[in-house]
Amino acid sequence: MSASSRLRGNAGSSIQWNRTGVARLSGLAYVDGKMATTAITTAPGTYALVLAGRKTNTVRIGSLGTLELKPGVYIYIGSAFGPGGLAARIRHHTEIAVRPHWHSDYLRAACDLIEVWITTQGGRHEHSWARAVARLPGSQVPMPGFGSSDCNCQTHLFWFQHAPSIRTFRRFVQTMVNVRR
């Protein structure tokens, strides 16, 4: 599938919200180097980047250290509560940062962005989302401390040999909301 056909398939569509409040953005593609962000909400919220490691590689993650990149799927959990909300942040992640700042910027430069899971439901869910992704079958921690410098989570980055299903993730997220402290 070419980038342009993916974009045409996506550009006019609206976000498909599920009753769990977790939507999937797929077909993230570009025209003239710019992503069509019209379909992405500018509301604040929480997101998960689903990234594919292209090949075995060594990636420097800022001052955190070196990640041994493996083929497979990486899921990074973040939140967007600044200007432009989710649309601005996801646009940032679709591009390769010229001056990497966040841990995710370093990883992004070595991976393909496959899809993004988002929610705009009230409050910050990034830490409960990290716990939910940690519980998905096959979840591994490739680098403790990734994206979690400012919280108590072990990590906000997970690795899977095969892409986990958003259905399972949604179920775990709901369970965690229900048992939230």
Give the footprint of Zn ion on this chain (CB under 5 A): 127, 148, 151, 153
Please identify, using beta-carbon distances, which residue of 37 and 158 lies nearer to Zn ion: 158
- Residue 137: how many other CB atoms lie within 10 Å: 9
Shortest distance in whole angstroms from residue 130 CB to Zn ion: 5
Do the Cβ atoms of 118 and 25 come closer than 8 Å? yes
User: Which tokens belong to 157?
Assistant: 């980055």
Nearer to Zn ion, 153 or 166 (CB): 153
Tokens 């570009």 belong to: 30
Is residue 47 within 8 Å of 156, Cβ to Cβ? no
Q: How many CA atoms lie within 13 A of 88 on its CB side?
A: 11
Closest approach, Cβ 11 to Zn ion, in A, equals 33
Taking the least distance from each CB to Zn ion, the nearer of 94 and 104 is 104
The nearest distance, CB 45 to Zn ion, in angstroms, is 15
Q: Which two tokens stand for residue 78?
A: 């973040």
Please list, in sequence order, all residues whose beta carbon lies within 8 angstroms of the beta carbon of residue 139, skipping any fewer than 6 positions away.
133, 158, 159, 160, 164
Smallest separation, CB 126 to Zn ion (Å) = 6
Q: What does DSSP assign to residue 4? A: H
- Beta carbon of residue 27, minimum distance to Zn ion (angstroms, whole number): 29
Select 31 or 141, whichever has its Cβ closest to Zn ion: 141
Which one, 110 or 132, has the nearer CB to Zn ion? Answer: 132
